[in-house]
Amino acid sequence: MKKSLAAIAVVAVSVLALSGCTDSGAPSSPAPTEAEGGGEVTQVRVAALPIAETGALWGAIDEGIFADHGLEVEIVPAQGGAQAIPALLSGDIQFAIGQPFGPIRADLQDLGVVVIGNYASSLAEGKDVNAVVSLADSGIVSPKDLEGKRVSVNSLGAAGDVTIMKAVQDDGGDPSTIEFVEVAFPDAQAQLDAKNIDAAWVPDPFMSQIVGAGGNLVVHPYQATIPGLPLLVDITTQELLDSDPELVSQFAAAMSEALEWASANEDAVRAAIVENMGIPEAAAAGITLPEFTSEVDVAAIEELVALAIEFGVLDAEPDLDTLIQQQ
């Protein structure tokens, strides 16, 4: 598997996107403050990707669910869970929502990062929430066509390229010939148009926008390899879990309620996507939403780890018993 040297620069930029982060030393719990209506409220910073799935979080905040749990949430933009890890460890943010691979790699480095719950999972059948797409004139219409091509993912060495390689292999192609390039999801269309990449792995709304403009939907890699695979998980540090278990429990309870609310209020989630991503209502109406659930599918993550080791993305197994601490 080839990797773009430009990825290092992209990662550096994405870490800087965690606006307001400073070199603050060891993680610490935020101090409660008094809310306007009386009572205490704790301010927490949560890193999240600027994608449709975050609509559940945006909408739940507006609905007052986190406030009901005594939390005031500031969302900090991030490119992926892995890029948010340094800010978690420094204490600049308390929680992050990202792919499972960020905490998996952190566990292999003994960084003290833990998964406290699921956030969203892919769909086991039908139109899934992410896909590899290509332009209409690319000639790339099936997984095997990705042989020798430049394919973008938002984070190198994560679930995107692992599942893409498996899909290519299952279609009779050679996954070792793919050149994966790290590109933020919102930039995928421009990179395709500029011919800097041949195909892109993207979630909605970018998936639907590219396909709706005449592009090809090549494959839903999660669904083709591990149907229902966790897309995003809730991440924090072991230090915060040990030093302030009440805050972690508070956040987990609020998130669980938020995800239940999101599952039952898709229109409100789509409205939050429109407001926060600046896309038309008609486009938001066509977005495929994931399964919002707080329960981590450990078996699916074990299968993902096995594939990552098979393809040389990981060289060891993480300690999932330590890493996943469902709240």
Query: Cα–Cα distance between 205 and 53 in angstroms, integer?
Result: 10
Query: Cα–Cα distance between 171 and 217 in angstroms, integer?
Result: 15
Closest by alpha carbon to 28, among 236, 206, 208, 220? 236
Model pLDDT, residue 78? 81
Model pLDDT, residue 88? 94
Query: Cα–Cα distance between 265 and 300 in angstroms, integer?
Result: 27
| Chain centre distance of CA 95 | 13
Query: Cα–Cα distance between 274 and 80 in angstroms, integer?
Result: 21
Structure tokens at 77: 């933009």
Query: Cα–Cα distance between 128 and 222 in angstroms, integer?
Result: 8
Model pLDDT, residue 33? 61
Query: Cα–Cα distance between 221 and 183 in angstroms, integer?
Result: 17
The whole-model pTM stands at: 0.83
| Cβ atoms 248, 256 nearer than 8 A | no
| Helices and strands (H, E) in the chain, number of each type | 15, 13
pLDDT in single tens digits along all 327 residues of the chain: 433 322 222 233 333 344 344 344 444 566 566 555 556 899 999 999 888 899 999 999 999 999 999 999 999 988 666 678 999 999 999 999 999 999 999 999 999 999 999 999 999 999 999 999 999 999 999 999 999 999 999 889 999 999 999 999 999 999 999 999 999 999 999 999 999 999 999 988 899 989 999 999 999 999 999 999 999 999 999 999 999 999 999 999 999 999 999 999 999 999 999 999 999 999 899 899 999 999 999 999 999 999 999 999 999 999 999 999 999
| Cβ atoms 175, 106 nearer than 8 A | no
Model pLDDT, residue 13? 32
Q: Over the range 147-186, which residues count as b (16 or more CB within 10 Å of their CB) and which as e? A: bebbbbbbbbbbbbbbbbbbbbbebebebeebbbbbbbbb
**Cα→Cα distances 94→25, 27, 48, Å:** 13, 8, 12
Give the helix/strand (H/E) hosting 285: helix 281-285
Model pLDDT, residue 1? 41
The one-letter code for the residue type at 46 is V
Instruction: Sheet containing 130-134: give its strands across.
Output: 2-3, 179-182, 150-153, 199-203, 130-134, 216-219
DSSP, collapsed to helix, strand or coil, labels residue 279 as: coil
